[in-house]
Amino acid sequence: MASSRLVAPELATIKVHGMTREAFLMRSTLAAGAAYGTLSATGLITKALADAGSGDVDILNFALTLEYLENEFYVRAAKQVKGLSKYESDLTKELRDNEAEHVDALAATIKKLGGKAAAKPTFDFGDAFASRASYLKTANTLEDTGVSAYNGAAPAITSTEVLAAAGSIVQIEARHAALIRLVRDVAPAPRAFDKASEMDAVLSAVKPFIAA
């Protein structure tokens, strides 16, 4: 699988389970057949999500999974990453707390709609916390990916209320992305139009962070 087909090629070099992410993806794809089959097997996402025409609850569960991931990422970053400035450390905690609120809000919305909130997966971020640089780079990619995921999924949402909720969250993710980018001294808003990614592409991209 070529890096260029990954929704977030920058993630390819992060080592997870002792091999690069790219190698991991290739191996799991070959071993498990269709990506949908692999995802179903983890019990993470129902097959309904994999099929076309997912409902609002499925989209919310997709978002919830990403928020679980981001929250856990920052929870661990706050504890593990060395060499952050006071500002960067405070920022990490603020991002962590924002994502926690997103998790709560999405779970509550799913429940309100009569759906079942996806369970929190077990995550493995490999060597992402080994240095300040790898933490910030991964954070950058995760936030940008979150933005593209919400922007990709949102037009399929049928309820105005759910769309408003998704919109109010994605705007914060975009703000997060900009701030992390400024810390990295890269352009906060490199594109005039932000990317929109397909759901299955995003799930494929983050799957290596989900421990088997």
Partner 1 sequence: MTDSALRELADDPSSRKRFFKMLGGAGAVSAATVFLAACGDDEDEQSEPPAAAAVDNNNSDLEILNYALTLEFLEAEFYDKVIASGLVKDKKVANLAKQFGQTEQEHVDALTATIKKLGGTPVMAPKTKFEETLEKGLEEVLNTAATVENLGAAAYLGQAGSIKNKEVLAAALAIHTVEARHAAALNQLVGRGFMGDGELSGSIPTGAFAKPMDMAAVNEAVKPFLA
Which residues of this chain interact with partner 1, rule CB under 8 A?
Answer: 97-99, 101-102, 104-105, 108-109, 147, 150-151, 154-155, 158-161, 163-165, 167-179, 182, 185-196
For residues 162 and 206, which CB has a smaller minimum distance to partner 1 in the complex? 162
Residue 93 CB, nearest approach to partner 1 (Å) = 13
Task: Quote the Cα angle for 6-37-28, to 5°.
Answer: 50
For residues 82 and 86, which CB has a smaller minimum distance to partner 1 in the complex? 86
Residues found in the chain = 212
CB 149 within 8 A of CB 197: yes
Residue 123 CB, nearest approach to partner 1 (Å) = 20
Q: How many CB atoms are located within 10 Å of the residue 48 CB?
A: 12
What's the CA gap between 147 and 141, in Å, rounded? 10
What are the tokens at 87?
A: 């500002």
Residue 182 CB, nearest approach to partner 1 (Å) = 6
For residues 108 and 211, which CB has a smaller minimum distance to partner 1 in the complex? 108
CB 106 within 8 A of CB 60: yes
Q: What is the DSSP string of 163-199?
A: HHHHHHHHHHHHHHHHHHHHHTTS-SS--SS-----H
Residue 162 CB, nearest approach to partner 1 (Å) = 9
Residue 124 CB, nearest approach to partner 1 (Å) = 25
For residues 120 and 175, which CB has a smaller minimum distance to partner 1 in the complex? 175
Torsion angle of C-alpha atoms 198, 204, 205, 209, degrees rounded to 10: 140
For residues 104 and 124, which CB has a smaller minimum distance to partner 1 in the complex? 104
What's the CA gap between 98 and 161, in Å, rounded? 20
For residues 174 and 199, which CB has a smaller minimum distance to partner 1 in the complex? 174
Residue 188 CB, nearest approach to partner 1 (Å) = 4
What's the CA gap between 104 and 98, in Å, rounded? 10
